[in-house]
């Protein structure tokens, strides 16, 4: 059962409510931006890893080809070292799917965006309502402004 409380609608109580809404709005904006930034960082890291995988594979291929043309020990040594580095890099990307993590952060940011817009609308409605034409209906999971003109 929802509990509703009634308070006197005074300018001071509205300022307190506005301050609380702005504080919550700021936290939502910060969370939204943090998820977006994290997704961007993960995508940059994924792009960098993919580039290094290509570069290392090309170096390994060059080392193997150099063995056939007589470079022998030098080409084989470089191939072994670079191949080991590529193995470590591939093992890292196998355990951590950076693309999936970035997608989850993007989805979280999109979900938070809707909450952000609702807070913004709520603050706007609070500022547009006057004491004679506005009623606040509030519950734990839902806050609704009913304004009439």
3-state secondary structure of 97: coil
Q: Does residue 140 lie in a domain region?
A: yes
Nearest C-alpha neighbor of 39 from the set 112, 106, 100: 106
Per-residue pLDDT at 102? 94
pLDDT tens for each residue of the chain, 149 residues long = 444 455 566 778 778 888 888 898 899 999 999 999 999 999 999 999 999 999 988 888 888 887 777 767 777 788 888 889 999 888 888 888 889 999 999 999 999 998 888 888 888 877 777 545 555 554 334 555 444 43
Per-residue pLDDT at 143? 52
Q: Does residue 6 lie in a domain region?
A: no
**Start-end of H helices in 6-143:** 11-68, 73-95, 98-128
- Crossing angle (nearest 10°) for helices 73-95 and 11-68: 150
Domain that holds residue 99: 11-147
Q: At 101, which CATH number?
A: 1.10.287
Q: Does residue 1 lie in a domain region?
A: no
Q: Does residue 3 lie in a domain region?
A: no
Domains identified in the chain, total number: 1
Q: Does residue 69 lie in a domain region?
A: yes
Cα separation values, 19 from 12, 15, 27, 50, 146, Å = 11, 6, 12, 47, 20
Whether 18 and 127 have beta carbons less than 8 Å apart is answered as yes
* Euclidean distance between CA atoms 134 and 7, whole angstroms: 13
Q: Does residue 29 lie in a domain region?
A: yes
Per-residue pLDDT at 148? 43
């Amino acid at each position: 059962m929802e509990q509703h409380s009634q308070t006197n609608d005074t300018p001071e109580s509205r300022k307190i409510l506005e301050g609380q809404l702005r504080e919550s709005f700021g936290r939502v904006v910060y969370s939204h931006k943090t998820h977006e930034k994290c997704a961007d960082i993960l995508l940059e890291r994924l792009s960098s890893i993919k580039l290094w995988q290509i570069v290392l594979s090309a170096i390994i291929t060059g080392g193997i080809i150099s063995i056939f043309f007589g470079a022998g020990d030098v080409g084989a040594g470089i191939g072994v070292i670079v191949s080991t580095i590529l193995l470590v890099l591939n093992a890292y990307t196998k355990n951590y799917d950076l693309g999936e993590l970035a997608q989850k952060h993007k989805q979280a940011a999109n979900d938070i965006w809707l909450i952000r817009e609702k807070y913004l609308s709520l603050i706007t409605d609070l500022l547009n309502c006057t004491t004679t034409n506005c009623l606040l209906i509030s519950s734990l999971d839902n806050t609704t402004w009913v304004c009439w003109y």
